[in-house]
Structure 1
């Protein structure tokens, strides 16, 4: 398949002038969406086998942030990334909301639950707006270092004519590719995105809307990563990926560094609210980029007083969980077909793992039904909790918290008690609207309308 991939794309370029290229999916299909009418998809009570879903990381350190890691990712570079991105019209200067959910906290028995809502970051609808664009800016600056290109000028298209001969490529589950396509259009370079069989048509259209040229393969995400690397080598393109591999670390580092903006904002917002820091941070898994970018920032900032970090993954896409068991970056053991499409990754990023193995305190697995239940709960809101549009992957952190709180022994192990102040990140909104509607039972627009009403009532009451 891999050799065929390179041959087929070269032929397609010749015949189609690089329009969208669709490869047969060979019988592949999207994962089954949880069905609330199906017995196995209904909300569950305490799970007698829950203990197998959580492991403590014996290598987690509570020392000061190591210099060896600081040389790779640090607060200064993350803050610089945020300053550069503030000039990109699709992101801008505004911080995303840190939404307090006191009713959820009371139900779970913790002091507070705060959700950093990245669905509001930009029209792209996800946290990926912070990763791929900044990596592309840094790549262009390295490639054209003799020209001293201004980052603000890059993201506003000042150098588009000079960069028209540059093409970037990446594999994606959806959000990263969309962000890269949007950034490439803004900067003025070409963009090719490789999609695997389980990326749905809605996400493909969202990427194509930003001018990216699409390559479809019949394999999974990890095979699409290989295909993207081969296409780049064959055509003189540049891979902009959040997944590292041998000889490819600078760009994934830049992607992860951009995610530090989330941590910087959340910490500042918490300090402004009541001055008390978070005790626990729940982070989505995937290949590990988000978790590494956020955790490294907070570790450097807080040192030995850093919060406890919990990484949450789909049960069938457990590459970080398995890496924790093996003591090295490794592959998932499951089918890697979760409804949490953004987390359906089969292999950990080695560079991200260098950070995660030293600071993540717990790794845990959840089922698709857990994520869907969290999506519904966040959408519903309550008298004191604003309704939130959280996509399938976006709700994973809250889902992980809810799963742990169903079992008092697990909650005690992780230190989740009446004094716990929890941060979760809603990494995406309804990036696939029909999937969201199926899972939640209503449209994202309906939830957003209730959100506006809730915020208006709160503003009037204040």
Structure 2
């Protein structure tokens, strides 16, 4: 299914708060933070030229975030960045002066960080980033995981020294429980979703994601004409759509948000024209996208900057994992997790459907950009779906910054 954006806010300028959060100055600050990370490297932009020829478009480029900062997901850009920013700000307040990034490992700042606890709910990848950020700065982390998070993903978070707190129910249940306990204990919630009265920190998380967009624009020979980005609560989709709208202005691409059909909270929000919570049904294999309530900040951006919303099915998600693992002639193989290739799955579904293809103005000149948002963050699940063993991650040797 595809739904063109018909909201009252469509094509209106971004809210000034969001334009500041996702604009060039903020993105440059993110890149400055990344520049001091010991294992930072620009992630690959892979041209799928064979696939583009096969489906009849000019180009398909995929930004492979499976290589990001040793965490295997774009989420590495958001949670850890927000934690670092919050620690520096808290230190500045306590010391009565501006504290620069260069002071992060000073005794004064470390003393402040040791008294801080950051907390979040997660499907796996965001919690890993928050936990890594806390370890980097010397803060404590409490990560709330619902019953659908696999043991492998829980273990991957726990290795950063985080306290793991199980929650019965869905991701949205864990978000509410994390907020409740954090308020009672005086912890700082570092969430990638927002709700009334809680917007700034999710904005910092989204701000971290602008780094991948800036990198991709520098890597591409020409800006894209079409972008397909998968959505959970909407953070990555909003960050990409918002930054592209600011960076490219009138030349911005046609932007489509791709939801799992079983957890289509952004699609249904677009249909209703306002944020809605959808019913919890059968779980989706797209575990990182299984969210039933959108982020309010993300919706505020997407209602203005997204052109269309669509859904993909379970078979689309597993099919694209296998297609990327066993590419057409000449294309590079890419390891994509259950949620990683969903944007590309949406793009191929749109191209194959004459009605959707026409509605999105896709033709032989179209240049498509997508993001592989995660590698094999659950290696067992990846092997089960593809029949292939993912490459082993480099052995972790300790903290880095």
Q: Is the structural similarity TM-score above 0.5?
A: yes
Structure 2 counterpart SS, 1:364 = strand
Flag structure 2 segments of 5+ consecutive residues without an equivalent.
Answer: 394-401
What is the alpha-carbon distance in structure 1 between the residues aligned to residue 379 and residue 344 of structure 2?
Answer: 20
Cα offset, 1:67, TM superposition: 4.1
In the alignment, what sits opposite 1:30? none
Q: Does 1:433 align with 2:383?
A: no
Return the alpha-carbon distance in structure 1 between the equivalents of residues 108 and 137 of structure 2.
8
The answer to whether 1:407 aligns with 2:357 is no
Task: Give the direction of change, closer, same or farther, for the CA distance of 1:352–1:320 in structure 2 (3 Å limit).
Answer: same
1:106-160 per-position Cα deviation (integer Å, ceiling 9, x unaligned): 1111111000000111211000111001111222233222333322442799833
Q: Secondary structure at the match of 1:202?
A: helix
Asked if residue 379 in structure 1 is aligned to residue 325 in structure 2, the reply is: yes
Are residues 1:74 and 2:23 paired? yes
Stretch deviating more after TM superposition (64-73 or 333-342): 64-73
TM-score norm. by structure 1 comes to 0.81
Native 8 Å contact 1:316 1:332 kept in 2: no
Deviation at 1:294, TM superposition (A): 1.1
Q: For 1:198 and 1:435, how far apart are their aligned partners in 2?
A: 13
More deviation, 211-220/148-157: 148-157
User: Deviation at 1:237?
Assistant: 0.6
* Number of residue pairs matched by the alignment: 389
- Report SS of the residue matched to 2:157: helix
Could you say which residue in structure 1 is the equivalent of 2:176? 226
Is residue 83 of structure 1 aligned with residue 43 of structure 2?
no
What does residue 313 of structure 1 align with? 259
Distance between the aligned counterparts of 1:269 and 1:80, measured in 2? 19
Aligned twin of 1:185: 135
Change in 2 beyond 3 A, CA 1:156/1:339: farther
| Paired residues of 2:116 and 2:187 also in contact (CA < 8 A) | yes
State the secondary structure of the residue aligned to 2:70. Answer: coil
Determine if contact 2:15/2:301 at 8 Å carries over to the other structure: no
C-alpha contact (below 8 Å) 1:115/1:425 kept by paired residues? yes
Q: Identify which of 239, 242, 247 aligns with 1:293.
A: 239
- SS in structure 2 at match of 1:58: coil
Asked if the contact 1:332/1:346 (under 8 Å) is kept, the reply is: yes
Q: Which residue of 2 aligns with 1:58?
A: 6
TM-score normalised by L of structure 2: 0.93
3-state SS in 2 of match to 1:434: helix
Q: Give the aligned partner of residue 240 of structure 1.
A: 190
Q: Distance in 2 between matches of 1:206 and 1:339?
A: 19
* Counterpart for residue 79 of structure 2: 132
Could you tell me how far apart the structure 2 residues matched to 1:160 and 1:88 are?
17
Structure 1 CA distance, aligned partners of 2:69 and 2:253?
Answer: 28
Measured after TM superposition, the shift of residue 162 of structure 1 is 3.3
Check whether the contact 1:336–1:346 (CA below 8 A) recurs between aligned residues: no
Aligned in 2, Cα 1:433/1:68: closer, same or farther, shift over 3 Å?
A: closer
Distance in 1, matches of 2:359 and 2:105, equals: 46
SS at match of 1:348: coil
Higher deviation after alignment, 385-394 or 324-333 = 324-333
Deviations along 1:274-326, whole A, 9 cap, x unmatched?
Answer: 3x210011111100100111111110011111001111111010110011011
Instruction: Give the Cα–Cα distance (whole angstroms) in 2 for the partners of residues 157 and 113 of structure 1.
Output: 48
State how 1:331-370 maps to structure 2 within 5 Å.
Answer: 331-335=277-281, 337-370=283-316
Aligned equivalent of 1:215: 165
SS of the aligned residue for 1:374 comes to helix
Change (3 A) 1:156 1:95: farther
Over residues 65-91 of structure 1, what are the superposed CA-to-partner deviations in whole Å (9 max), with x where a residue is unaligned?
Answer: 56464244322112211211221224x
Partners of 2:14 and 2:301 within 8 A in 1: no
C-alpha deviation, 1:380, in angstroms:
0.8
Aligned partner (choices 44, 49, 61) of residue 97 of structure 1: 44
* Structure 2 SS opposite 1:290: helix
Of residues 96-105 and 69-78 in structure 1, the stretch that sits farther from structure 2 once superposed is 69-78
Contact 1:62 1:304 in 2 (8 A): no
Distance 2:352 2:173 in 1: 37
Q: Does 1:117 align with 2:64?
A: yes
Say which SS state the counterpart of residue 263 (structure 2) adopts: coil
Asked whether the equivalents of residues 30 and 207 of structure 2 are also in contact (C-alpha less than 8 Å), the reply is: yes
Deviations 1:234-258 (A, max 9, x none): 1111100011112111100000011
